[in-house]
Amino acid sequence: MIAELPFLVLRILSVLASVWIAVLGFRRLQAGSPRGVAWLLGSLLGFAFVGLSTLAAKTTRERFAPFRLRDEIVGFSALGTGVIFLLVVLAAFLPVILDILERRGFSSYVGARHVRATKSGFLTVISVLSMAGVAVSSCALCSVTSIMGGFGADLKRKILGNNAHIVVDVTQPGGYGDWEDKLDGIRLAVAPKGGAATPVVAGDAMGSSASNTAGALVRGIDTNTIAQVIDLKQNIEVGNFEWLDDPEKLADLPADTIIGRGPGGEPYFKGPDLRASADLDPAVKAALRKDVKVLPGVIIGKELAKSLHVLVGDEITLLSPMGELGPMGVMPRTRRFRVAAIFYSGMYEYDATHAYIKLDVAQSFFSMGDNISQIDVRVPDPERVAEVTPLVAAAAAKFDMGPGKEPLRVRDWVEMNKNLFSALKLEKIATFIILSIAIAVASFCIVCTLLLMVTEKGKEIAILKALGASDGAIMRIFMLEGVIIGGIGTVFGVGTAFAACSGLARFGVRLDPEVYYIDRLPVNVNGSDYAMVAVAALIICTIATLYPARAASRLSPVDGLRYE
């Protein structure tokens, strides 16, 4: 309900704005102006947006929801009407803002009147093109920033959801023992910050099924505390996390159990069990049930399951390079598992490689005894992990690892993913600079507009200076005029991008998950980015006004009136 509150407020404001624009349209029609029809059409767009957005809000956006053309048409119609209606509202507010500027003083009055003047059709067209150039450039910059930010935020969310925020491990192979006391000490250190910790055993293995093989990163987990650190439970697509603790149920799944999903999300059911057939001889039934062995469970990623061609309840074999010494050298250790669940994290690298088994099973499988590989820690606010990392490091430094052994190493997610996020940040900065050049190019139109206006308004400038207007006042007039043109273009561009990206973030653009591995286009609407774009556009447009304004202020009354 709280999440729907901003959307409810938006619809109420849209209704009020539609009524106001309709009143403006009727007044224009009564005054004999044909523009009243345009205002009435804009009002109808507002009411259409309210209705379409209400219908679009009722559609389901779940991952396995079937594709419905009607829902997509309603969503994009709501988005289109909303963007156009916003432009109508901004156009309706424009005369009000210019009226306010005209009442502020001499320079602002003359500058605003120049912008509103329609006597010179050529200059009016050039001014409109200048506004459009700034609007398109700022809209493109905001939109690209939002989409890139959406991909970056989605990537960060998936990385932080599937990995620990802080890892406590050692560089030497074999892990470390006496981890219960270390785990308690780290939990005590992060408890005031709301953090959680869990032990993990990690190792590489080769997974094989009856039809294929694939490499896997096997992680032994504590089933009681792993959900406090990573989102494994929430990412389960088919199967059951509890079957990892209760593998007996995997040997006799009910017929209506979903054991997999197709490319479109369609469920695959286990089907009837031949061992339960009434026509089967009881002795044969008993023999078949006796042949079914209870194997330890394993949770694997969706892509790994696809590579191995297995479903929930199927058997796979894991082969560990850490084996026993035999006559032919080190013999790899193998063990059979039964698939307890299949998870979908949204990251292909994780879904194609990760497999989770119980902690004690992993210790036995990798011949680690009672040792563990690492302690994973999660904090409530990953962006403030730098405040918790020193606490964990201080707690880890208190433990004596023994003679000749390295101390515990503490790393947070910022350090472990430094290269990735630095590249994303650099890419975002480069894109911002490149598209800012487009705004600078659009500002050249403002320079041309003001220079043409200085040429055309030479007589008026001379008269104003003859009446006592100073060079500074003339310069302020033309600077303000350029700022108004750039400001209008910036507001229209940033407003359009904000409306379009907000609509895309809410209604979404369907993507093929088999190609992009995401089902919706991620869009992140960040107010600070939009404010930065608006400020940058205004600064560029202001700088563009300096030369024409200075040329106008240096025009002498004699030169302006010489040929009049």
How many Å apart are CA 99 and CA 89, to the nearest integer?
16
In a domain, 274, yes or no: no
* pLDDT higher than threshold 70 for residue 564: no
Least confident of 121-130, 195-204, 348-357: 121-130
Report the pLDDT value the prediction gives residue 1, as an integer from 0 to 100: 36
pLDDT band at 331 (very low <50, low <70, confident <90, very high): low
* pLDDT higher than threshold 70 for residue 351: yes
In a domain, 371, yes or no: yes
pLDDT band at 461 (very low <50, low <70, confident <90, very high): confident
Domain ends where: 407, 442, 463?
407
In a domain, 286, yes or no: no
Residue burial 68-95, b: 16+ Cβ < 10 Å; e: rest: eeebbebbbbbbbbbbbbbbbbeebebe
How many Å apart are CA 125 and CA 121, to the nearest integer?
6
Provide the whole-model pTM.
0.79
Residue 213 sits in the same domain as residue 352: yes
Amino acid identity at 67: F
Question: How distant, in Å, are the alpha carbons of 375, 400, 496 from that of 390?
Answer: 15, 18, 44
* 3-state DSSP of 146-204: HHHHHHHHHHHHHHHHHCCCEEEECCCCCCECCHHHHHHHHHHHHHHHCCEEEEEEEEE
For 54-113, write each residue's pLDDT tens digit.
Answer: 887 777 666 656 667 777 788 888 888 989 999 999 888 888 888 888 888 888 888 888
| Residues pairing with 510 in the sheet | 520
Report the pLDDT value the prediction gives residue 125, as an integer from 0 to 100: 79
Residue 34 sits in the same domain as residue 68: yes
In a domain, 279, yes or no: no
Helix %, strand %, coil % for the chain, to 5? 60, 15, 25
Bridging pattern class, strands 213-221 and 354-358: parallel
How many Å apart are CA 252 and CA 50, to the nearest integer?
52
In a domain, 502, yes or no: yes
Domain ends where: 365, 387, 407?
407
Average pLDDT over residues 45-49: 89
> Among residues of the chain, what percentage have pLDDT more than 90?
21
Residue burial 241-276, b: 16+ Cβ < 10 Å; e: rest: bebbeebebbeebeeebebbbeeeeeeeebeeeeee
* pLDDT higher than threshold 60 for residue 285: no
- CB contact set of 506 (below 8 Å; sequence gap of 6+): 7, 56
Report the pLDDT value the prediction gives residue 462, as an integer from 0 to 100: 81
Question: How distant, in Å, are the alpha carbons of 130, 149, 298 from that of 441?
Answer: 10, 25, 58
How many Å apart are CA 228 and CA 379, to the nearest integer?
10
Residue 176 sits in the same domain as residue 166: no
For 105-135, write each residue's pLDDT tens digit.
Answer: 888 888 888 777 766 555 677 788 888 888 9
Least confident of 98-102, 277-281, 291-295, 429-433: 277-281
Residue 319 sits in the same domain as residue 413: no
Report the pLDDT value the prediction gives residue 166, as an integer from 0 to 100: 93
Report the pLDDT value the prediction gives residue 326, as an integer from 0 to 100: 58
Residue 297 sits in the same domain as residue 396: yes
How many Å apart are CA 382 and CA 164, to the nearest integer?
10
> Among residues of the chain, what percentage have pLDDT more than 70?
90
* pLDDT higher than threshold 70 for residue 323: no
How many Å apart are CA 356 and CA 337, to the nearest integer?
11
* pLDDT higher than threshold 70 for residue 5: no
In a domain, 284, yes or no: no
Domain ends where: 70, 103, 136?
103
User: In Å, how far from its chain's centre is CA 130?
Assistant: 32
Report the pLDDT value the prediction gives residue 379, as an integer from 0 to 100: 93
Residue 437 sits in the same domain as residue 356: no
| Residues pairing with 372 in the sheet | 176
**Contact 42/54 with Cβ under 8 angstroms?**
no
Residue 298 sits in the same domain as residue 377: yes
In a domain, 270, yes or no: no
Amino acid identity at 531: A
Q: Which two tokens stand for residue 149?
A: 């930010």
Residue 46 sits in the same domain as residue 176: no
Of 489, 486, 455, 479, which Cα lies nearest the Cα of 546? 479
For 236-276, write each residue's pLDDT tens digit.
Answer: 989 999 999 888 888 778 888 888 887 777 888 887 765 55
Q: Which two tokens stand for residue 179?
A: 């981890």
Least confident of 130-134, 161-165, 283-287, 306-310: 283-287
Residue 543 sits in the same domain as residue 499: yes
Residue 296 sits in the same domain as residue 342: yes
Amino acid identity at 546: L
Residue 305 belongs to what domain range? Answer: 171-251+292-407
**Contact 18/43 with Cβ under 8 angstroms?**
yes
**Contact 369/177 with Cβ under 8 angstroms?**
yes
Number of domains making up the chain: 3
In a domain, 267, yes or no: no
Question: How distant, in Å, are the alpha carbons of 348, 411, 424, 426, 564 from that of 418?
Answer: 20, 11, 10, 12, 69
Residue 47 sits in the same domain as residue 66: yes
- Residue 503 in 3-state DSSP? helix
Residue 47 sits in the same domain as residue 93: yes
How many Å apart are CA 46 and CA 25, to the nearest integer?
13
